Structure 1
Amino acid sequence: MSSDAPDQPDDVPARRIDTARIEQEMEQSYIDYAMSVIAGRALPDARDGLKPVHRRILYAMHEAGVTSRASHRKSSSVVGETMGDFHPHGDSAIYDALARMAQDFSMRAPLVDGQGNFGSIDGDPPAAMRYTEARMAPIAEELLADIEKDTVDFSPNYDGRKEEPDVLPAAFPNLLVNGSSGIAVGMSTNVPPHNLGEVIDATIHLIDNPDCAIEDLMDHVVAPDFPTGANIVGRNAIYKAYKTGRGRLRVRAEMEVTEDRIVVTELPYQANKARLIERIADDVNDGKLDGVRDLRDESDRDGIRIVIELKRGANPEVVENQLLESHLETTFGVINLALVDGQPKVLDLKETLSVYLDHRREVVRRRSQFELDEAEDRAHILEGRLTALENADQVVELIQDAKDRDAAKAALQAEFDFSTDQVEHIVAMQLGSLTSMEAAEIEDEYESVQERIERLTEILEDESELLGVIKDELREIKDEYADERRTRIIEDTGEVTDEDLIPQEDTLVVVSEDDYIKRMSLSAFRAQNRGGKGIIGADLKEGDRVSSVFLANTHDYLLCFTNHGQVYKLKTYQVPEMSRTARGKSAVNLLDLDDGEEIESVVDCENLEEGAGRYLTMATRKGRVKRTAVEEFGNILSTGIRAIRLAEGDALVDVELTDGDRDLIVATAGGMSIRFDESEVRPMGRNARGVGGIKLEGEDHVVGLAGVDSDDHSWVLTVTDNGYGKRTAIDAYRQQSRYGKGLIDIKTNERNGPACAIDAVAPGDHLVVMSEDGQIMRTPVEEISTVGRNTMGVIVMDLDAGDSVASVAVIPADRGDGADEADADAADSADA
């Protein structure tokens, strides 16, 4: 096959070859890409507060006539129009943007009026676009108002077939009203929504006071106003966000707290309700959130309602604090980043409003110029028509004598000096317009147009008049669309811990042999005469016995020493408060105890961090004594730490908090006791076994340890298993060297039984005695006779057959609570 075309060589040299370093080419290409994402997709324009996709959706709806007065249109149709003409990206991205503009829980002033499922606060996605319908919301039309009056610049669309606006006229500050969020390359924006009325008031204030401070604007815009309501905690973060354009706001749910339930009625902005409820339920099941009995979602179309039922005896404020710490308080990071003249910039509150005002000033100026040009054109036509009416006979004659329409135009222009536009309208006039009524209407219209020209000229020539127009239009929008603020501002009280919510009060803590533990209010026990039976203090399970009872403040630490020589730390308020007849809660739910590990002794300690000069002095069953500085117990792990190394067959019996200047009295079950100076027991580490404190004979064993002051006027109190006891002056116990046999403390005959407790008491103190079967009695120490050492004592508590004293606690005179006798009498009656 022949061809007239000349043969082409196989290798055609390039016309030009440029050499470039790959890192420079990559850098420039990435910068170009980044700026494309920043300006073309991710960041809003500071003037209308819209990203390109939102602007194109609204403009496509405007062009298609899908306004608030039209019927709803299939969302797929709107998405198709937008994608085909203006936004050459995926339809899912366009539909997501459309759906968000219709969500009243995402937008403070929704710009789309949606019909169908557009998603929910539970995180449910919108229905497919073929199932939903949409049209512009009335307030969205305010963003597009006057767009046809040359108010903004237009640019060719992606394929050059059409033009699209670079920005919308925006009759209100949409960036602040609806906020914006987006992630660009190397930067992100997160502008919170605000109340429309407040933003407009601030804008008007800025117009009237261009030199005002941000603080002045904050008199109007007090804080962001989220569509979901809730509370913003503290004002400092708000001020910082408005002052610098960046800040971190704490947003807290709105709750109604009662004694038995917490009802959540408003959630933080952008919270997923379903996921939130699921996380709360998980924490309850995992034991991380105590006190919750039931959780249900009662939300409906009228609003949010999450009901959290509390367990009996749970502290509502503590549960509320735990919920706030983990679930019901979030942080909104404000980054007020927007495009200004095509460049990303972080704006403070005044700058944001100033950029909008500059834009609005330009829009009103261009609109006024457009309307002025139209009015002047109309006035020119009306002037010609009025001249024709004044010379109607002559005009008619010239037209009649003319050969054709063009000749008539030429004759009229030659006679009256009409312009081309004027003569066109005159020739086209109907004879009916020559009536006097028609003439009057033209004269009235001409006067109206002249007034309009004067007004528009005034606006264009006088800046204050132009700003007045802006203010009037802003006020009209406020009157039409503004509503009440939804988000409240609450004071920041600082970080609130569970302990801050617990009142400081003394309470009785009861521990059983099977390690059931509870606390009870002192007001449940009225002081009575010695020798009584007392009242029920614990309803024990079969086979269980009370092991100890002691007084502790709700804010104190409880150091729980076990038979393995470990010590665990627990705050008193963490022990569940229960009624007298309750069994208590198993300690394994509060402490990480090993198998076979049981609590042997519990010490009430006010502060472990400030332990200088204080010691934990321990006594074991086999008579060893050990003293360790309190600060060594300042960092107790959840799995416990070693407190003492015990010999095989030995056990920890008692622990006292001492100050280094006391005497120690060690007492045995056989009624022996020894008193020696605390300094004879040198301070030791936690892993030490201690030193000999008292020599034991036969099967005797240590039952208690007391720290006494040598110069005070207190007594040594001793109580036996069978409920007998006595007070003896401290002086009756002469000081000896440690590790002796000691002296007789009390007679342990068949009536008394073995000694079970020893303590130091002072005038005004009260004694709380608890039996192994759970009976408890409170009596003033003065009720117990003062006798010598080697005596039998008197009846302290009347025990049932087979019962015995388990533990004795002393309530110091300065910690008595004045228990309500009526309450105690009622308790006595209930037991009877």
Structure 2
Amino acid sequence: MAENQSKIQELTLEDIMGDRFGRYSKYIIQERALPDVRDGLKPVQRRILFAMNKDGNTHDKAFRKSAKSVGNVMGNFHPHGDSSIYEALVRMSQDWKLRVPLIEMHGNNGSIDNDPPAAMRYTEARLSEAAEEMLNDIDKETVDMVLNFDDTEYEPTVLPARFPNLLVNGATGISAGYATEIPPHNLGEVIDAVLYMIKHPNPTLDKLMEFVKGPDFPTGGIIQGLSGLKQAYKTGKGRIVVRSKTKIEELRGNKQQIQISEIPYEVNKAMLVKKIDEIRVMKKVDGIAEVRDESDRDGLSIAIELKKDVDAQGILNYLFKNTDLQVSYNFNMVAINHLRPERMGLKDIIQAYVEFQKEVITKRTRFNLKKAEDRLHIVAGLIKALSILDQVIKTIRGSKDKKDAKQNLVSNFEFSERQAEAIVSLQLYRLTNTDVTELKKEAQQLNDSIATYNKILENPNELSKVLSSELRQIKKKYATPRLSEIQEQIEELVVDRTITVPEEQVMVLVSQSGYLKRSSLRSYKASFEEDGLKDGDFAVFKKELSTLDHLLMFTNKGNLIYRPVHEISEARWKDTGEHISQTIGLDDDEIILEAYNVKDFKQPIAFLIATSDGYIKQTALADFKPGRTYRKKATMFIKLKTDAATVVKVAMLSEKGHRGTIFLASHNGYGLRYDLLEIPVVGARAAGVKSMDLRDDAVVNFVLVDEDDQIGIITNRGSFKKMRVKEVSVTSRARRGVQILRELKKEPHRIIDIAVVERGQALEVLTSRGMFHDIIPADHPLNERYSNGSFIIDTDSEGTPISMREKELDPTITKS
């Protein structure tokens, strides 16, 4: 009991977890997920090729059941599930995944549509001829062999890999803390780069890239971005763009068709076709008539038939941008180098391969040399024995047994043990005269071979010549023309909005409470001015717009809400529409103050913004360009200094020019006028500069005016006053201004709102009881600056005025 207790160790959980996870990480990095830089294979792939070769399942023999190969690998070398072994076996046979497949397969081995392969009991497999180049010379002690998981057999730590498989077939994998993404390359190009490095041990990357132009995907496609390629080959990490090979064909009836013949590497064709068809069904692009997958045994083909007179190139650009017709490929060239995971550039990978191949040829040559020397020793013994044949026969006949005969030959004629063994094992027919000639000829050949082997081992240049010659033979046998095209620049995809949005004229309405809708002109005309708004709510914006226009909505709390017109929910004109709070959260007391439409954000337009606490600024339209989150979040268009402050007005200053001065009115009855040039243009998040010296007052509104204009003023007591602008002289910004109402000791008038009085326009006053009161300014006389105007609203019955706005006397709506 005490002995058992002494074996129990008290360890912290951190130590145990750290130690165990460290061991596990080391295992999956070295033994599962990452390829070796020398042969480009992961352990499971190496074991499959080795087991099939050992089993004689080679390209020159009949196919064998895949299940047999999987069983061999699982039983002898790879202690994991059969499904992972079979998946690795199948992948090595797929010519759309590997540039040079290592397995030949009969039966369903999956498809580019990501269909699953048939079960291993139905398929047959054998090594491809190229795979045998990977295993060539493995029986000549060229690579280290280690015991398998149950110490019953030996397996290689690496294959001789007589061609640079890591670059040719690429690799993809994820392990603990490391991932790898190496694209396939063209075998001929890679071998040319290896041959160059053998001759010039320290080449520049630019020189190597003269041979290795870039990846060569088995699925073809077009590779864009030479700078990304160079970065990837230099550091092992970089980004390129891979796009489909497409052409636009003319059809009858003024129609066109986009024909796709090659798609990017590892893109699922069925999902790609489905996504393009979804775009057609959802009408995200107006102009696609039909999408067809016309692929057959002759190759891949996708046809996108377009409607009449549409912009085919525009639609193709949209599809490049929004589907896997174009994808980014990110290099991450990580491989196991000297038992450690390492991110390697092109030069490092080729260098590691050349060093390994020199090692393989050195070991093979040593093996061949020893074999030749051993055979020469035997041949020399046989030649000597045949020259003294009668004495040898006499000695053997006089011996008791084989052992004694060998002993006598060694002692009498100075043969070695091995030579004596060869002599006593000699068959009688070999004693003919011709055999001596054959042996002398063999001895000469062996001497020549030994001289060649020694030359290779002693002279590095000779070794390089052998390596180069063998690589050239492999290139001659297996090289194929490049499939992927390489273009220097990544083409910037500009999608014209007219492609994605059919242009039409619609009526758009924005209400003060935050309701938003667009309706067809037909629905608008059929509604007889019935706009569907709730009592007390009114339209702050109502205009006929194009679906390609942009709408900017400004709230009294400094929030800007952006919507492209085509994204506004369509509703009948009689319906209320959607509330902005369904997508963007606003405060309970927040209202839409103004809304404006623009064609694009490049227009030279500025907005004039004023707050109740006396700040003012101009901001350019370009500063309001929406970000990616515009659907869910409002953006700030002015910074409010206090929680109580509100925006009182936002006015658009168009490029056509505007009235030269600004007229501000304060709640306590002060008016101030100065030139617009005094207001600086600042950014969207700025608070602006002082507009008025307020003291205990607040700005109620401003208007843009000329010297000859007239303004209307509505007060809290329901009084309306019309006065000339020139009553208030032009001074400068941030002053208090002059009184524009007569101050009363009892129940003084306070300004609620002001508006410019235009010929042919009415003014509409909204009261606290949700009632609207129309004023026709022409019916009212002009007043002096110190006048309080005349009472027109009965505040007891109609409520206190809240705001006043201009209203067209003619009900027709002007087009934007």
Q: TM-score range by the shorter chain?
A: 0.5 to 0.7
- In structure 2, give the amino acid aligned to 1:595: R
Deviation at 1:367, TM superposition (A): 0.8
Aligned equivalents of 2:506, 2:543: Cα separation in 1: 17
| TM superposition shift of 1:78 | 0.8
Q: Once the two structures are superposed, what CA deviation does each residue of 1:119-171 show, in whole Å capped at 9, x if it has no partner?
A: 11111111111111111111001111111111111111111111111111111
2:283 matched residue in structure 1: 287
SS state of the match for residue 239, structure 2? strand
Q: In the alignment, what sits opposite 2:581? A: none
Deviation at 1:341, TM superposition (A): 1.6
Q: Is the 8 A contact 2:146 2:155 kept in 1?
A: yes
Quick one: which amino acid aligns to residue 18 of structure 2? E
Partner of 2:667: none
Q: Counterpart of 1:246?
A: 237
State the secondary structure of the residue aligned to 2:335: strand
Match for residue 541 of structure 2? 565
The correspondence for 1:92, drawn from 74, 83, 97, is 83
Provide the residue aligned with 2:475 in structure 1: 478
Q: 2:572 aligns with which of 592, 595, 602?
A: 595
Query: Which residue type is aligned with residue 450 of structure 1?
Result: N
1:418 counterpart SS class: coil
The alpha-carbon deviation at position 514 of structure 1 amounts to 12
Q: How many angstroms apart in 2 are the aligned matches of 1:243 and 1:137?
A: 33
Question: Is the 8 Å Cα contact of residues 458 and 465 (structure 1) preserved in structure 2?
Answer: yes
The answer on whether the counterparts of 2:508 and 2:545 sit within 8 Å (CA) in structure 1 is no
Structure 2 distance, partners of 1:375, 1:224, is: 43
1:305 correspondence with 2:295: no
Structure 1 position 681, deviation (Å) = 15
Would the aligned equivalents of 2:291 and 2:305 in 1 still touch at CA under 8 Å?
Answer: yes
Which residue identity is paired with 1:467? S
Deviations 1:506-549 (A, max 9, x none): xxx9858999xxxxxxxxxxxxxxxxxxxxxxxx999999xxxx
From 311, 317, 328, give the equivalent of 1:315: 311
Residue pair 1:232, 1:249 contacting (<8 A) in 2 also? yes
CA deviations 1:640-668 (Å, max 9, x no partner) are 99xxxxxxxxxxxx9985123799xxxxx
2:637 aligned with 1:660: no
3-state SS in 2 of match to 1:219: helix
Shift of 1:481: 0.8
Q: Tell me if 1:189 matches 2:180.
A: yes
Indicate which of 431, 434, 441 corresponds to 2:431. Answer: 434
Q: Is residue 267 of structure 1 aligned with residue 263 of structure 2?
A: yes
Structure-2 change in CA distance of 1:590 and 1:189 (3 Å): closer
Which residue in the other structure is 1:419 paired with?
Answer: 416
Measure how far apart 1:610 and its partner are. Answer: 3.7
Partner SS state of residue 223, structure 1 = coil
Task: Give the Cα–Cα distance (whole angstroms) in 2 for the partners of residues 51 and 592 of structure 1.
Answer: 54
Taking the TM superposition and a 5 Å limit, the aligned residue runs for 1:727-738 are none
2:224 paired residue number: 233
**Does residue 364 of the first structure (1) align with residue 378 of the second (2)?**
no
Distance in 2 (alpha carbons) for counterparts of 1:593 and 1:373: 87
| Aligned partner (choices 201, 206, 214) of residue 197 of structure 2 | 206
The residue aligned with 1:375 is: 372
SS in structure 2 at match of 1:257: strand
Contact 2:224–2:488 (CA under 8 A) maintained in structure 1? yes
| 8 Å contact kept, 1:412–1:418 | yes
Moved more, 390-399 or 470-479: 390-399
Distance 1:285 1:686, change over 3 A: farther
* CA distance in 2 between partners of 1:438 and 1:44 (Å): 51
Match of 2:763? Answer: none
Query: How big is each residue's C-alpha offset from its partner over 1:302-323, in whole Å with a ceiling of 9 and x where there is no partner?
Result: 2111111112232111111111
Question: Does the alignment pair 1:611 with 2:605?
Answer: yes
Distance 1:428 1:313, change over 3 A: same
Q: How far apart, CA to CA, are the structure 2 residues paired with 1:128 and 1:266?
A: 29
Three-state SS of the structure 2 residue aligned to 1:256 is strand
- Taking the aligned partners of 2:127 and 2:56, their CA distance within structure 1 comes to 9
Match of 1:224 in 2: 215
Partner of 1:675: none
Aligned match of 1:631 in 621, 646, 660? 621
2:33 is equivalent to residue 35 of structure 1: no
2:507/2:524 contact within 8 Å kept = no
What is the match of residue 61 of structure 2?
70
Residue 400 of structure 1: how far off its partner (Å)? 4.0
The answer for unaligned runs of 5 or more in structure 1 is: 1-9, 503-508, 516-539, 546-561, 575-586, 617-627, 642-653, 664-678, 696-737, 743-804, 810-832
For residues 80 and 189 of structure 1, the distance between their equivalents in structure 2, rounded to whole angstroms, comes to 28
**Deviates further, 310-319 or 105-114:** 310-319
Which residue is 1:465 aligned to?
Answer: 462
- How far apart are residue 187 of structure 1 and its match? 1.3
Q: CA deviation at 1:360?
A: 1.3
User: 1:26 matched to which residue of 2?
Assistant: 17
Q: What SS does the corresponding residue of 2:152 show, helix, strand or coil?
A: coil
C-alpha separation in 1, matches of 2:108 and 2:11:
54
Distance in 2 between the 1:473 and 1:464 partners? 14
* Distance (Å, rounded) in 2 between the aligned partners of 1:262 and 1:54: 40
Match of 1:55 in 2: 46
| 1-structure distance, mates of 2:433, 2:117 | 63
Residue 441 of structure 1 aligns to which amino acid in structure 2?
Answer: E
Deviation digits for residues 349-383 of structure 1 (CA, Å, limit 9, x no counterpart): 11111111221111111111111111001101111
Q: Secondary structure at the match of 1:565?
A: strand
Tell me which residue corresponds to 1:257. Answer: 248
Does 2:134 correspond to 1:143? Answer: yes
Change beyond 3 A, Cα 1:690–1:464:
same
> Which residue of structure 1 aligns with residue 764 of structure 2?
none
Cα 1:594/1:431, change in 2 over 3 Å: closer
- Look up the match of 1:768: none
Q: 1:273 to 1:597 in 2, by over 3 A?
A: farther
| Aligned-residue offset at 1:225 | 0.9
Contact 1:227 1:269 in 2 (8 A): yes
2:171 maps to 180
Cα distance in 1, alignment partners of residues 113 and 195 from structure 2: 38
The aligned residue for residue 112 of structure 1 is 103
Deviation at 1:198, TM superposition (A): 0.8
Provide the aligned length of Structure 1 versus Structure 2. Answer: 610
Cα separation, 1, equivalents of 2:387 and 2:676: 131
Alpha-carbon distance in 1 for matches of 2:546, 2:631 = 9
Residue pairs, 1:489-568, within 5 angstroms: 489-499=486-496, 565-566=541-542
Secondary structure of the structure 1 residue equivalent to 2:210: coil
Task: State how far apart, in whole Å, the 2-side matches of 1:495 and 1:261 are.
Answer: 23
Is the 1:73–1:133 Cα contact (8 Å) retained in structure 2? yes
Contact 2:605/2:654 (<8 A) preserved: no
**AA aligned opposite 2:321:** E
> Partners in 2 of 1:686 and 1:176 — Cα distance?
72
CA distance in 2, matches of 1:680, 1:30: 70
Distance in 1 between the 2:602 and 2:386 partners?
A: 106
Greater Cα offset, 233-242 or 312-321: 312-321
The verdict on how the C-alpha distance between 1:324 and 1:318 changes in structure 2, with shifts beyond 3 A counting, is same
CA distance in 2 between counterparts of 1:393 and 1:159 reads 54
> CA distance change for structure 1 residues 83 and 543 in 2, over 3 Å: closer, same or farther?
closer
Distance (whole Å) between structure 1 residues aligned to residue 78 and residue 701 of structure 2: 74
Query: What SS does the aligned partner of 1:274 have?
Result: helix
Q: Is contact 1:233–1:250 with CA below 8 Å preserved after alignment?
A: yes
- Residue equivalent to 1:352: 349
The amino acid across from 1:180 in the alignment is A
* From 90, 115, 121, the counterpart of 2:112: 121
Q: CA deviation at 1:402?
A: 4.3
CA root-mean-square deviation:
4.4
2:321–2:493 contact (8 Å) kept in structure 1: no
Give distance in 2, aligned partners of 1:510 and 1:101. 54
Give the distance between the partners of 1:163 and 1:632, measured in 2 at CA. Answer: 71
SS in 2 for 1:190: strand
